[in-house]
Chains A and B, each alone.
Chain A
Amino acid sequence: MQPAIIAAILLFFIVYSTIRIFMAKWYYVEDFHYLTPLYSPCVSNECVPGAAHFGTPFGDFPFFIPLGIIAFPIVAGFRVTCYYYRKAGYRSLWASPPACAVTEPHKKYTGETRLPLFVMNWHRYFFYFAALILLVNIYDAILAFRGPDGGFGIGLGTLIILVNVVALAGYTLSCHACRHVMGGRLKHFSKNPLRYRFWTFVSKLNVRHGTFAMVSLFTVIFTDLYIMAVSAGWFDDLRFIN
């Protein structure tokens, strides 16, 4: 894709998610238990009833701390330091280089050898936390399989949340840090047959890491938009069962 298109997509996501996390409303559909991934886990006393699946251990938040304060820095950090987004971002937003064999406009270049950019090397640790957030998202998706009466139910929102979780799982599991942790760091695959199989599996996903990265970006935005719309009453959720 063209650098300008990538840049537009990345900037749109940054602006959209920033606006949304400070909105502090329309993030939960109580009837169908839909919680947007941008606010999950919701741990403040101000979270609407039912949205705080994990309780509110931190009490009240001051107004300038968004309700999604736990997940957002982790997920944002995970994406910023991601090896795919580094390529996309350095090329399209920072023009370093704008494209292969095209002269870059910067006079000096030190890469990721010093602050602030060596922080990019912390991707692994963002990955560990992002994997936990993924578990929270899976839990949210399971909760979304409930109807207004508390019994089993499926609506369009459930399916959208499910697709989003699959995309997020694909993105998280195909990560280069995951590939390294699963087995890439080994010197002798033959002595660790199980980890070799994990590594082989993650390697297959890893080829599509860029695709997962972009697809999950859109599914997150779309899931959030849908839940915002249903929550604000702009239209009703299409229910299939219950």
Chain B
Amino acid sequence: MGTKRQFRIWRGDETGGDLQDYMVEVNEGEVVLDVIHRLQATDAPDLACRWNCKAGKCGSCSMEINGKPKLGCMTRMSTFAEDETITVTPLRTFPVIRDLVTDVSFNYEKARETPAFAPPPGVAPGDYRMQQIDVERSQEFRKCIECFLCQTVCHVIRDHEENKAAFAGPRYFIRAAELDMHPLDARTDRKEYAQAEQGLGYCNITKCCTEVCPEHIKITDNGIIPMKERVVDRRYDPLVWLGSKIFRRGQVPQTIVTGEHSPGAVGAHAAGPAGVHSHAGGSHDARAETQAQQGVNWHREVPKPTAPAVDASGRMPLTELTFDRAAAPSPFGDDVTFPLPPEHLNFAHPEQDKH
């Protein structure tokens, strides 16, 4: 039999809300998420909370427990004193949808803006070969579960909403570092991109992202600082800087990010017509976009998923007991089978013209 513990949980939506007190039973071995589930089953059936795996691997149940960004499923109740009031609030950096659920789409926008892996020229898919010591630095960053605790704890956007446009956050700095350290990635402008577009310079190395990471990724030491040092290679060499001031060399807009310029070419030829740049993200290179579109009709009619048939009451005419399978029906419609035939896919391999 457990004990009764005092909880204060933020309840409300985008229009406002407040902390509400609850007394909940807590049993040995439980975590905060278990207690929230018990609350949903007892006092607060309408309490909204995002969760999924309960094992610290999906990154859904990020919340702020006693002011510290943590995963609800990885925060043991035994870490609190018996008489301690436990305050649970939603992630502060992102807009609240309801109760503990926030709208984290900021992160997905920044993810879309980060250029994807660029396949090496002349190597066909399937022929990629890498040595373990070359990829192991990147592999550390692949442990990321995208719980966005590092994003919510980072004071650059946590305390300064206005920086959100210019700053991508620690999660995307390690993404940039992962790809820049990737032995087969063909892009050479990731350093310039990190500095000019992701706002790497906003980071002041206070290491809170590393402190909160539930996967114990050394975000600052292995990701952000090496990335800053790589930018220093290109941008902050004082001699180069002084030279460019004195001799007026390299006077190009510094935000230019192109798809294909060679190392160290933040100079005159980088300002060519290929240097089209958009702040909205996605591919920043008009030529690459045209190439990618060759052979692909992006406006092709995609078959709409068909909704399942419903009865007069608007429900599916079946129950869990009478349904013919254990899982939910396919959101793509029962008539769609996977894998889809390749000719129906909107995908063009960037190297497809060469093969």
Contacts and interface: CB of A to CB of B under 8 A. Distances in A.
Interface of A: 83, 86-87, 90-91, 96-97, 100-104, 106, 108-113, 117-118, 120-125, 176-177, 179-180, 184-185, 187-190, 196, 206-207
B274 interface: no
A122 B236 contact: yes
A112 B202 contact: yes
| Residue in B67, B220, B228 with the greatest tally of chain A CB atoms within 10 Å | B228
Interface of B: 64, 67-69, 92, 131, 133-134, 153, 155-156, 158-160, 163, 180-183, 199, 201-208, 211-212, 220-221, 225-226, 228-233, 235-238
A189 B182 CA distance: 11
Contact of B67 (A91, A101, A104, A106): A101
B212 to A, nearest CB: 7
Contacts of A91: 206
| Residue in B159, B226, B230, B231 with the greatest tally of chain A CB atoms within 10 Å | B159
B230 A101 contact: no
A167 B269 CA distance: 47
| Residue in B131, B134, B203, B229 with the greatest tally of chain A CB atoms within 10 Å | B229
A7 to B, nearest CB: 14
Given A96-B155, A100-B68, A187-B183, A113 B229 contact: no
A111 B231 contact: no
Given A109-B156, A184-B226, 9 more contacts: A90-B206, A97-B158, A104-B155, A117-B204, A120-B204, A121-B236, A125-B237, A177-B232, A180-B229
Contacts of A108: 160
Given A87-B205, A184-B226, A118 B134 contact: no
B236 A97 contact: no
A121 B64 contact: no
A108 B228 CA distance: 22
B200 to A, nearest CB: 9
Contacts of B68: 100-101
Contacts of B225: 83, 176
Nearest to B131: A190
A59 B331 CA distance: 84
A190 B229 contact: no
A196 B182 CA distance: 15
Nearest to A189: B133
24 contacts: A83-B220, A86-B205, A86-B206, A90-B205, A96-B204, A100-B208, A101-B67, A101-B69, A104-B155, A106-B159, A109-B163, A109-B202, A111-B156, A111-B201, A112-B204, A121-B231, A121-B232, A124-B229, A124-B232, A125-B237, A180-B229, A185-B233, A188-B183, A189-B131
Closest 6 CB pairs of A and B: A111-B202, A100-B208, A121-B236, A113-B201, A180-B229, A97-B155
A190 B134 contact: yes
A200 to B, nearest CB: 9
A2 to B, nearest CB: 15
Given A111-B204, A113-B199, A100 B160 contact: no
Contacts of A120: 204
A168 to B, nearest CB: 21
Contacts of A176: 221, 225-226, 229
A188 B134 contact: yes
B160 A187 contact: no
Contact of A109 (B159, B182, B212, B228): B159
A222 B224 CA distance: 34
A117 B212 CA distance: 26
Given A101-B158, A103-B159, A189 B134 contact: yes
A102 B67 CA distance: 8
Nearest to A103: B159
Nearest to B149: A101
Nearest to A193: B133
A125 B241 CA distance: 13
A112 B134 contact: no
A100 B212 contact: yes
A218 B82 CA distance: 41
Contacts of A83: 205, 220, 225
Nearest to A85: B205
Contacts of B155: 96-97, 104, 109
Contacts of A207: 221
B5 to A, nearest CB: 22
Nearest to B226: A184
